[in-house]
Amino acid sequence: MVNISINTTQNVNINFVAASVGERLLAYLIDWIIKIAYVIVVYQLMFKAFNFEDWAKDMDQWSVGAVVVFFYLPAIFYSLIFESLLDGQTPGKRIIKIKVVKIDGYQASFPDFIVRWFFRIVDLNLFSGIIGLIAVVTSNKNQRIGDMTAGTGVIALKNKVNISHTILEELKDDYTPTYPSVIKLSDNDVRIIKETYLAAKKSKDYATLIKLRAKVIEVMEIRHQVESNDMEFISTVIKDYNYYTQNM
């Protein structure tokens, strides 16, 4: 079992279990089955249902090629589209319960997914994927070349049990939340916030608490704050997140 240690900007290390080679291969296989099914459906529609060959007779070769490529674009950009829309997951990854994350602790962004998608040419298409397989097996974080370049890793989501456990807060029955925008945060975000908050509170690292508060305000886009104290504010954010997630 390989661990991915994510060092956040607040210098808090969080360990996740990296997705194994088998998990990644299985997710890749499921995605390939979905793509093949899509290609078959498109082929049947174009050449059987809509008689593409008939109306393509009046088109030049380049136009025909452009139309065919257009219909097959979803298969070409499959991983980029789904990882962007599903927060680091394709349907295959979602079924196997693995996910793409940033090594620096932040959520992977669209540019990161573009880099990963582009390097599929090297990792998965050249030499039948041997390069990507060797990279994952030899990397100490189970990363393929695209992951190393984008600064991402693939983790097993069984860690979510631990994440939920660590962010759990007991709330009074009459608790009233203060910041509805807290739902913009993920379990992983709140875990990082809570880990940093507790570490800084214990060591009386007020500078880190100030930076943490500023970052949370920026991410949640808070304009008006109720609490003037950094610790009270962060504590309220954690409780609010628990309130909304427990009552969804």
pLDDT for the residue 147:
93
For strand 3-7 and strand 13-17, is the pairing parallel, antiparallel, or unpaired?
antiparallel
Half-sphere CA count of 137, side-chain side, radius 13 A: 8
| Token pair in block for residue 247 | 């009552």
pLDDT for the residue 161:
42
pLDDT for the residue 162:
46
What is the separation, in whole angstroms, between the first and last Cα of the chain?
34
Tell me, what DSSP letter sits at residue 18?
Answer: B
- In the chain, where the domains are located: 3-156, 163-246
pTM, two decimals, is 0.61
Written as tens digits, the pLDDT of the chain (248 aa) is 666 666 554 444 566 788 889 999 999 999 999 999 999 998 888 776 667 666 667 777 787 778 888 888 999 999 999 999 998 999 999 999 999 988 875 678 899 999 999 998 888 876 767 888 888 888 888 899 999 999 999 988 765 444 444 666 777 878 888 888 888 888 888 888 888 888 888 888 889 999 999 999 989 888 887 777 889 999 999 988 888 876 65
| Token pair in block for residue 134 | 């060797």
Q: How many helices (H) and strands (E) does the chain have?
A: 13, 4
